[in-house]
Structure 1
Amino acid sequence: MNGDSRNRAMQQHSMANRKITLEGMWSEVEPGLTSVFQMKQMSKGGYMHHYSTVYSYCTSMTHNGQEPPSAPSLQTKSKRRPTGRGEPSCSDAATPSTQAAWVGMELYKKLTDFISGHLVGVREKLKHHRGDELLVAYAKQWQDFRFSSKVAHGMCMYLNRHWVKRENDEGRHKEIYPVYGLCLVQWRENIFSGLETQLLRAIMDMITRDRNGELINSNLLRTTVDSIVELGVSADVDGDERNQASANRTVTDPSRDNKAVGLHVYKNSFESHFIDETIKFYTQESQSFLATNPVEIYIGKVVGRLAEEDVRCTKYLHESSGPLLKKTMEDVLIIKQMDILHAEFKKLLAEEKLEELASIYNLLSRVPNGVDSLYKLVETHIKEFGGATLANNAEQLMNDPRAFVLAILEVYDRSSKLIHGAFKGDHGFSTAMDKAFEHLVNNNAITVLAKNPAKVSELLARYCDGVLKKSTKNPDELELEESLTRLMVVFRYVVDKDVFQKFYSKLLSKRLVLQTSASDDAEASMISKLKALCGFEYTAKLQRMFQDIGLSRDLNDQLRAHLETGNRSFDCEFGIQVLSTGAWPLTERNTLIVPAELERPLIAFKDFYGAKYNGRKLTWQFNLSKTELSANCFSKKYIFQASSYQAAILLCFNSKTQYPVVELQQMVGTERPYFDQILVILLKQKVLLIREEAEEVDEKDLLVEGVSVKLNTAFKSKKLKINLNLPIRAEQKQEEDQTNKVIEEDRKLLIQATIVRIMKMRKQLRHQELMAETLQLLSNRFKPSVIIIKRCIEILIDKDFLKRDEEAKDQYTYVA
């Protein structure tokens, strides 16, 4: 401790030990307080003298031998505690505690009277001012008074820390404040209460001018509003600037702030009035603005006003007003204008103005449930423009898988741009888009024209076939992968995924058997995508088909080694693929008498396979086979790519150059009219002729009695390798019908298997519960009708897999 500190401590000690009366103490302190509140300069020594005087008075226990008078207001309901040494209780004599209470109360009353008297003069100075003049004068007087109150608070620090604290802790008085709080209470009662109406009117007028764009003194407003906040004083307010949270615009500890400075004066006197004025101002402005301006401009105006009020709250309002002010603004400017904004949204949506839609979305998303009613509008919009896009060229799209997929993807891209560009990918709008797109994919002009709701699944499968099949226009690997990825976007919305599987597996089988796949990696990638979306069971047969092709390669290598070992050879090269009956979508085959040139290799393979796999049965699928024939009977050597049936017909002409159609059909052994369809292709290609004239022929020409066909020895073509194996339209239609029939049968079996699986696990289940679980489990494959499920339940009851409960007919029991 240095010398000055030691001297001050000794002085304070000596002052504390001297006896001092209330009148003597007040005669020394009152002039100092007068100087402080008159904003006169006070030396540090003078300040310490007054502090020590108050300290000495408060620590005195007796005054000139006088006992403290009876003060009922200071008595407490203390319980009588027995003592062991015969000391008097609180009710028998004045204890140091009651003496200290009396001492503190007398000083507290003196301070109250002094502050109240000082504020009488302040009130006189303010009562004649109005408007901005009142705010200027009020702010000046408040700042001076606030500073003086803090100085007075420091001078009476001992009173604050001991007497005031004890009074509050013991609950003697509810309205005992530290000296700084006492000053604020007196200002509230003597100044603010009398000027509240004029003061609030002046504040509101200045805020209105600020909203109208006029330049105002925001510091003046902030000082005035801060004073109102601080007038909500509580018993533990601290006059120290460092500890007074309310003095700062940013409150680091809201719980402490609410305790130290109650907001009831601010809320009741200012905030309620401010909110009413805000509602009035913006209601009038919004109505007048909408009457003279488009809604698009109004949206920008509202966004600007909301931002302005956020700044305004930061500049001169208490932070607690922020949420209420924001809600009020949103109620007046958005919720009350919701019908107008919704009508504008419909207009903008029809024109797909993304920036304007984004603005109105951002505005409406500020209020609770503000955009919920817009989801249905977006869903309807996507359905309408998507349906119109597909309806424009429905007939073309129904027969062109690539055009259909590109059209539906165009709709998807447009919808996605709308959702992400205008609505930031909002979950509600994304869900609305999904609902609209699912409806659009499964119910559109193409499905109506085809009278088949599963037509889309077939088109997607055929699009895949076009992408994955070898051609001169095959894209590179990256473009191919991108095409498959884009296709899966559409496939995700397909309901009849089992129909897609049937058509895809049939087309895949042809690509694998005929070796026309553009890329094995692309085929594997597509199956992987289907497996990720639909599960392992969905792609199990597809993967088995790939395994069979791999095993067939090994089997052909073994066959060649076997033939070389036996020194056996044939006039032709051949390869055979063994396909598992359960995995491949094999159809009924047409009969064929195998030509002698091809029969010997088939017999050799049959013997080899039978020796290797005893008990397995081979059934030849000539409709999946292909043959290359070397033609040396024309002016040039040609190679014909033909089906097995076409090869059988052409090989007959090694013996002679002309046959009656009936004889030729008997030699080939294929039933009509399928034989006629194959022969017509050869006639159209001019390899065979009915007549010398080069006119078109059809199947009717082959029905003429005695008609013959002959080899066209004058055949010419610019190509040396000619593909004769062209698709037969009637065969395609037959395959489609057969596939659709298989799909219906497979669906019934799958539904029955699903029901049995559910009942085996549940044992007993009511009808509605069984229906719900069946629909849920089958939803990733197709959406079965309720009628079909009921029929399948009846079939299972007839087969004794299920039985109805005798007491509850709507309950089924599993029969083990």
Structure 2
Amino acid sequence: MPPKSKAKKRKTSEANQSTLDSFRIGQPGRSQTAFPPKHHTVSTTSTTTNDRMQQQPTTSDDSSTSAKHNNLHAGSFLGSFRQHALIDKVPILLCKETPSTPALSNEQIIDTFTKLDNVLRSILHQTPNDLGFQVAYELCRSVCLFGKPKELYNDLESTLNEHMQQEKHVIMGETDQDTFLDTLDDHWTTFCQQLVTIRNIFMELDRRYIMSETPYPSILHLGKSMFRKIVMGVPRIQSKTISGVLKLIQQDRDGLDVNLNRLRSITQMMLDLSLYDDVFEPSFISSTIQYYGTESTETMDRLSITDYLQHAKDRVQQESEYRIATYLDKGTKISLTEVVTNQLIYTKIDIILSQGFDDMMDHCERESLAILYHFVSSHESITKLRTAFGDYIKKRGVRMVKDPSKDQVMVSTLLSFKDEVDKILHDSFDNNPTFANAFKESFETFINSRRNKPAEMLAKYFDTMLRSGAKQPPEHRIESHLDKVLVIFRYLQGKDTFEAFYKRFLSKRLLLNRTTSNDLEKSILGKIKSECGPDFTKNLEGMFKDMDISADINTTFKESKDYGEQDSIPLYVNVLAQGVWPTYPTTDIMLPTNMASLLQAYQTFYTKSFKGRKLAWRNALGSCVVKSHFPQGSKELTVSLFQTIVLLLFNDTTKSTMDYKDIALATNLDDKELKRVLQSLSCGKHKLLVKQPPNDTVTDEDTFAYNSNFSASAVRLKINSIQQEQSTEERKETQTKVLVDRQYQLEAAVVRIMKSKKQMTHVALVNELFVQLKFPIDATDIKKRIESLIDREYLSRDQTDNSVYIYQS
């Protein structure tokens, strides 16, 4: 692309000035070297380095003017003409004109007009003339001074008009389109130079007559006006000029070599002649629309949307910067930029968005998106871009949320997706608030498109991050990461579902001592509290309180007499408030004698310490640390209470094997639980028992034996138990509890609203429920709960209008 240059201001003589304006001189005034009229004296003094020369005053008349002028060794300036001085300085004293100066004779006037006309024609026809320009200037001044400026002006205008007619015929005679502009520009440039010379000679006419008696500020403007009217006023010349300029501009756009100086000169000529705005620019804009309308269609067919946007950016930059700075007027920039952008972007915005927007978002092409955004940021098309942005988020989010095969990575995928969109918002969309709102609305829409599951997986993700055992990043990094997860939590409508699953996961972390840090747990809980209020976290905070109380009770029990009478088996009991913790099934098992007696001792201690309270043991949550001895070495096993009971059966050395039925009879475990326990001990990573037949499925006919060949590199081993993970039954139970709690909340809200309003229509009641309740509800559930309240006589229907409910106080 041709080099850029600074844009030029319209109609000023700077880099893009015409030849005419490049010869501009100062305001016309009385020449300091003009000879004074008759009977006036001029004192001329010159100073050199070594001597001083004095010239005596002399008188002058008209016949001796030229001679005296030629004898003066003075430096004089007339416009752009200069006579070189032979001395350093010549002070000239101007005397006042004598009012009684006699008029010129007719012969003198005719002779002067003839001489000036010859000078004028010699300038216009570029022929030699014996009369010097300084003499011509003095003759013009004399004519003006002695009262003949009007006649001189008429002669000047007539001669210029005659010359313009000749110029018109010469230019019209140029039939070759390729050389027409060259001919026009050459004649215009030459005429501009001639006008400057003429203006310098006829400066007194400019000052004394043209400026005050004609509509033209100067001879320069007179010449421009005549060139515009006589030459450029010819439709054929004008149309050939416009078409020639447009052809050169198209060639420049196509990357062909163009005479930029010629192009700049012609456009500047149209500016000087006031043809640019009214004649050239409309045709130029029209041709630009046509050019880029065709190019946009052709380019879009062969380029990808990303490459097309870069092409559009380059094109707009070329038009608005390079061409404006090189040969177009600065005032064209706004309209030119608008039409180019309109043809390349606005008319193609639907195609760009439908064919390329999703792909740019998928590949996070922030630079291309930024180009598109800045094109439409001040145009109504920004609404379409914002809509496409929101629709993309919904489509992509629904795919992530509704695919059951991706449930386990749902939250991590959502976090990555949100990070990508946040970067695009910042880097491409300038953090536009309307785009940020579109993102929030779309995110909330798709994350709630699948009821309950996102809330469950979010709670599980918290559990994974807060549970000890796996390799975890430092605590401060975990908290920072979970802060991002809380942002997704804000979009959930079913926060009660999240609370139910979070409570179940938290309970296992606390009871199985698998939390990374209690401080971190409480920090996250405090943030959830600030989001949802104290009622939301009341039970969760109660769980931590129970754990603290249980620690104090255990300390007191170990110091009591009841504990001292038992064997030295360490015991730690967590006492849980029934309404705070999740519900767990009661499992009756047969404990070894020493374990059973120790539990009985704790129960005796507790009932004595807390009158009126009753303990219900939840054996499924118990865990033990068992020291085991194998021929390959001793191990310390962390196992569940159920696993412990089964392992202790194999301490009986009189039995080398035990079948499934014997184990079931000895432990009193139900069939489903026992099979999970035996599978974890004989089919897992650490095979403490040997199963026959050796497969991964436990049946009633299997037999089990102590694995004397067991070995492991670690001394402390954790034997994972299936019952410690969330089972399908637990999930269903949690979901059912959420539904029941929602029914209670819905009924309570209906009664609360009706108690305050006393009477409401069905539509008004439903609308109020949607405002007050924070979880998703549908009209069917509302109708069922209202019918239930009517049956229980909390509400009644109006006898004249069944759609109106009345509160029964």
The residue type paired with residue 287 of structure 2 is E
Deviations 1:276-325 (A, max 9, x none): 33344445656677788888877665554433322112322222222222
Kept in 1, the 8 Å contact 2:585–2:618? The answer is: no
Distance 2:753 2:345 in 1: 52
Alignment: residue pair count: 690
Equivalent in the alignment of 2:170:
128
Distance 1:366 1:115, change over 3 A: farther
Aligned counterpart for 1:140 among listed residues 166, 179, 190 = 190
Deviations 1:355-403 (A, max 9, x none): 99669957975894657667777878788888888999x56x56xx3x5
Distance 1:740 1:294, change over 3 A: closer
Equivalent in the alignment of 1:622:
618
Distance 1:19 1:692, change over 3 A: closer
Q: Does 1:277 align with 2:272?
A: no
Kept in 1, the 8 Å contact 2:584–2:618? The answer is: no
Q: Does 1:307 align with 2:312?
A: no
Deviations 1:144-175 (A, max 9, x none): 547866997997669899x79xxxxxxxxxx9
Distance 1:682 1:301 in 2: 64
Deviations 1:326-362 (A, max 9, x none): 2333444455666775675389669969599669957
Equivalent in the alignment of 1:323:
334
Equivalent in the alignment of 1:736:
731
Q: Secondary structure at 1:744's aligned position in 2?
A: helix
Equivalent in the alignment of 1:748:
743
Equivalent in the alignment of 2:582:
585
Kept in 2, the 8 Å contact 1:116–1:190? The answer is: no
Distance 2:273 2:399 in 1: 68
With CA pairs under 8 Å and 6+ residues apart, which has the higher RCO, 1 or 2?
2
Q: Does 1:783 align with 2:776?
A: yes
Equivalent in the alignment of 1:248:
none
Matches within 5 A, 1:643-658: none
Distance 1:301 1:473, change over 3 A: closer
Distance 1:520 1:368, change over 3 A: same
Q: Secondary structure at 1:122's aligned position in 2?
A: helix
Kept in 2, the 8 Å contact 1:641–1:722? The answer is: yes
Residue ranges of structure 1 left out of the alignment (5+ in a row): 58-105, 165-174, 233-264, 448-452, 703-708
| Matched-pair identity in % | 22
- CA-CA distance at 1:786 after TM superposition: 2.8
Q: Secondary structure at 1:213's aligned position in 2?
A: coil
Distance 1:288 1:216, change over 3 A: same
Distance 1:208 1:682 in 2: 80
Distance 1:573 1:135, change over 3 A: same
Distance 1:663 1:33 in 2: 140
Normalised by the length of structure 2, the TM-score is 0.63
Distance 2:154 2:799 in 1: 92
Equivalent in the alignment of 2:20:
none
Aligned counterpart for 1:574 among listed residues 565, 571, 574 = 571
Q: Secondary structure at 2:339's aligned position in 1?
A: helix
Q: Does 1:608 align with 2:601?
A: no
Normalised by the length of structure 1, the TM-score is 0.62
Q: Secondary structure at 2:170's aligned position in 1?
A: coil
- CA-CA distance at 1:141 after TM superposition: 2.0
Equivalent in the alignment of 1:506:
504
Kept in 1, the 8 Å contact 2:246–2:284? The answer is: yes
Q: Does 1:226 align with 2:223?
A: no
Matches within 5 A, 1:283-682: 283=293, 302-310=312-320, 311-334=322-345, 345=356, 354=365, 361=372, 365=376, 368=379, 401=408, 405=411, 453-471=451-469, 473-477=471-475, 480-481=478-479, 484=482, 496-524=494-522, 526-527=524-525, 530=528, 537-554=535-552, 556-557=554-555, 563=560, 571-590=568-587, 595-610=596-611, 617=613, 619-623=615-619, 625-628=621-624, 641=638
The residue type paired with residue 271 of structure 2 is V
Kept in 2, the 8 Å contact 1:313–1:319? The answer is: yes
The residue type paired with residue 273 of structure 1 is S
- CA-CA distance at 1:737 after TM superposition: 2.1
Distance 1:47 1:804, change over 3 A: farther
- CA-CA distance at 1:746 after TM superposition: 1.8
Distance 1:373 1:654, change over 3 A: same
Q: Secondary structure at 1:277's aligned position in 2?
A: helix
Kept in 2, the 8 Å contact 1:120–1:190? The answer is: no
Matches within 5 A, 1:12-161: 14-15=96-97, 114-115=156-157, 118-129=160-171, 130=174, 131=180, 132-142=182-192, 144-145=194-195
Equivalent in the alignment of 1:726:
721
Distance 1:146 1:618, change over 3 A: farther
- The range that moved more, 139-148 or 370-379, is 370-379
- CA-CA distance at 1:597 after TM superposition: 1.9
The residue type paired with residue 268 of structure 1 is D
Q: Secondary structure at 1:504's aligned position in 2?
A: helix
The residue type paired with residue 598 of structure 1 is L
Q: Secondary structure at 1:320's aligned position in 2?
A: helix
Kept in 2, the 8 Å contact 1:341–1:360? The answer is: no
Matches within 5 A, 1:158-307: 178-179=217-218, 185-194=225-234, 195-232=237-274, 265-283=275-293, 302-307=312-317
Distance 1:662 1:372, change over 3 A: same
Residue ranges of structure 2 left out of the alignment (5+ in a row): 1-31, 34-41, 44-90, 125-130, 175-179
Distance 1:697 1:413 in 2: 44
Distance 1:330 1:681, change over 3 A: closer
Equivalent in the alignment of 1:238:
none
The residue type paired with residue 164 of structure 2 is V
Kept in 2, the 8 Å contact 1:767–1:812? The answer is: yes
Q: Secondary structure at 1:628's aligned position in 2?
A: strand
Deviations 1:253-290 (A, max 9, x none): xxxxxxxxxxxx43321111222333444456566777
The residue type paired with residue 270 of structure 1 is F
Distance 1:52 1:753 in 2: 111
Distance 1:609 1:530 in 2: 33
Distance 2:305 2:661 in 1: 81
- CA-CA distance at 1:630 after TM superposition: 5.9
Q: Secondary structure at 1:128's aligned position in 2?
A: helix
Kept in 2, the 8 Å contact 1:468–1:519? The answer is: yes
- CA-CA distance at 1:512 after TM superposition: 0.9
Kept in 2, the 8 Å contact 1:468–1:518? The answer is: yes
- CA-CA distance at 1:517 after TM superposition: 0.9
Kept in 2, the 8 Å contact 1:629–1:642? The answer is: yes
Distance 1:529 1:47 in 2: 96
Kept in 1, the 8 Å contact 2:759–2:806? The answer is: yes
Distance 1:427 1:275 in 2: 35
Distance 1:291 1:783, change over 3 A: closer
The residue type paired with residue 622 of structure 2 is K
Deviations 1:512-531 (A, max 9, x none): 12211123354345445645
Distance 1:814 1:198, change over 3 A: farther
Kept in 1, the 8 Å contact 2:468–2:516? The answer is: yes
Q: Secondary structure at 2:722's aligned position in 1?
A: coil
Distance 1:566 1:36, change over 3 A: farther
